[in-house]
Structure 1
Amino acid sequence: MRGEKLAKSSGTFRSFKHRNFRIFFIASFFSNIGTWVQRIAQDWLVLELTNDAFQLGIVTGLQAIPFIFFSSFGGKLADRFPKRKLLMIANSTVALWALILGVLVISGNVQIWHVYVIALLLGISSSIEAPIAQSFVTQIVPQEDMANAISLRAVNFNSARLIGPAVSGFMISAFGTGPSFIFNSISFVFILSALFFMRTGGITELNPEQGKVYIREALNYIRARPDLKALMLLTFFFATFGFNPELFSATMATMAFGKDAKEFGLLGSCIAVGSLSGSLLATKLEWKPGTKRVIASSIGFGFAIIIGSLAPSYTFYAIALPLFGAGMLTTGIAANRTAQLGSDPLIRGRVMGIYFAIFMGGTPIGAPFIGWLAEIFGPREALITAGLIVIFGSLFVAWRFRGRLEPPKDVSLSATFNR
Structure 2
Amino acid sequence: MVESVPKKSSQFLRALRSRNYRLFMAGQSVSLVGTWMQQVAMSWLVYRLTNSAFLLGVVGFASQIPTFVFSPVAGVLADRWNRRYLLMMTQALAMLQAVILAAAVFSGIIQVWHIVALSLVLGVVNAFDVPIRQSFVVEIIEDRADLGNAIALNSSMVQGARLIGPSVAGLLVATAGEGICFVMNAVSYLAVLLALAAMKLAPSPHLGKERRRVLHELKEGLDYAFGFTPIRTILLLVSLISLTGMPYTVLVPVFAKEVLKGGAHTFGFLMTAAGLGALIGTMTLASRKSVLGLGRSIVLATVTMALGIAGFALSTNLAVSLAALVATGFGAVRVVAGSNTILQTIIEEDKRGRVMSFFTMAFLGMAPFGSFGAGTMAGIIGPSETLLVGAVCCLGAGLLFARQLPAMRAVVRPIYVNMGIIKE
TM-score by length of 1: 0.91
Q: Is the contact made by 2:59 and 2:119 (CA closer than 8 Å) also made in structure 1?
A: yes
Letter in 2 for 1:79: D
Q: Is the contact made by 2:238 and 2:335 (CA closer than 8 Å) also made in structure 1?
A: no
Partner of 1:159: 160
Q: Is the contact made by 1:231 and 1:291 (CA closer than 8 Å) also made in structure 2?
A: no
Q: Is the contact made by 1:234 and 1:295 (CA closer than 8 Å) also made in structure 2?
A: no
State how far apart, in whole Å, the 2-side matches of 1:210 and 1:62 are: 36
Q: How does 1:178-197 map to 2 (within 5 A)?
A: 178-197=179-198
Partner of 1:417: none
Superposed CA deviations along residues 238-267 of structure 1, whole A, max 9, x for unmatched, are 111212353142221122112111221121
Q: Is the contact made by 1:303 and 1:387 (CA closer than 8 Å) also made in structure 2?
A: yes
Does structure 1 residue 100 correspond to structure 2 residue 104? no
Partner of 2:15: 15
Partner of 1:259: 262
Uncovered stretches (5+) of structure 1, i.e. residues with no partner: 1-8, 413-419
State how far apart, in whole Å, the 2-side matches of 1:354 and 1:397 are: 18
Partner of 1:250: 253
Task: For residue 80 of structure 1, give the secondary structure of its aligned residue in structure 2.
Answer: coil
Aligned length: 402
Partner of 2:3: none
Partner of 2:381: 377
Q: Is the contact made by 2:102 and 2:180 (CA closer than 8 Å) also made in structure 1?
A: yes
CA distance 1:316–1:408, shift in 2 (3 Å): closer
State how far apart, in whole Å, the 2-side matches of 1:374 and 1:276 are: 28
Partner of 1:63: 63
Q: Is the contact made by 2:252 and 2:270 (CA closer than 8 Å) also made in structure 1?
A: yes
Partner of 1:324: 328
Deviation at 1:402, TM superposition (A): 6.4
State how far apart, in whole Å, the 2-side matches of 1:411 and 1:41 are: 45
Letter in 2 for 1:191: V
Uncovered stretches (5+) of structure 2, i.e. residues with no partner: 1-8, 417-424
> RMSD of the TM alignment (CA)?
2.0
State how far apart, in whole Å, the 2-side matches of 1:141 and 1:25 are: 12
Partner of 2:230: 227
Deviation at 1:371, TM superposition (A): 1.6
Partner of 2:6: none
State how far apart, in whole Å, the 2-side matches of 1:25 and 1:36 are: 16
Partner of 2:306: 302
Does structure 1 residue 351 correspond to structure 2 residue 355? yes
Partner of 1:281: 284
Letter in 1 for 2:378: A
Deviation at 1:342, TM superposition (A): 1.9
> Which residue among 303, 326, 344 is the counterpart of 1:340?
344
Q: How does 1:102-121 map to 2 (within 5 A)?
A: 102-121=102-121
Q: Is the contact made by 2:81 and 2:207 (CA closer than 8 Å) also made in structure 1?
A: no
TM-score by length of 2: 0.90
Does structure 1 residue 174 correspond to structure 2 residue 192? no
Task: For residue 11 of structure 2, give the secondary structure of its aligned residue in structure 1.
Answer: coil
Q: Is the contact made by 1:43 and 1:246 (CA closer than 8 Å) also made in structure 2?
A: no
Superposed CA deviations along residues 252-302 of structure 1, whole A, max 9, x for unmatched, are 112211211122112111111111110000000244265554334223321
Letter in 1 for 2:332: M
Q: Is the contact made by 1:256 and 1:379 (CA closer than 8 Å) also made in structure 2?
A: no
Q: Is the contact made by 1:94 and 1:122 (CA closer than 8 Å) also made in structure 2?
A: yes
Letter in 1 for 2:166: P
Q: Is the contact made by 2:140 and 2:201 (CA closer than 8 Å) also made in structure 1?
A: no
Which sits farther off after the overlay, 44-53 or 28-37?
A: 44-53
Between the aligned residues of both structures, percent identity stands at 30
Does structure 1 residue 218 correspond to structure 2 residue 221? yes
State how far apart, in whole Å, the 2-side matches of 1:66 and 1:170 are: 31
Deviation at 1:51, TM superposition (A): 0.7
Partner of 2:419: none
Partner of 1:3: none
Superposed CA deviations along residues 142-198 of structure 1, whole A, max 9, x for unmatched, are 211111111100010111111100110111111111111111111000000111111
Q: Is the contact made by 1:91 and 1:192 (CA closer than 8 Å) also made in structure 2?
A: yes
State how far apart, in whole Å, the 1-side matches of 2:253 and 2:344 are: 32
Q: Is the contact made by 1:343 and 1:411 (CA closer than 8 Å) also made in structure 2?
A: no
Q: Is the contact made by 1:27 and 1:190 (CA closer than 8 Å) also made in structure 2?
A: yes
Partner of 1:44: 44
Deviation at 1:19, TM superposition (A): 0.7
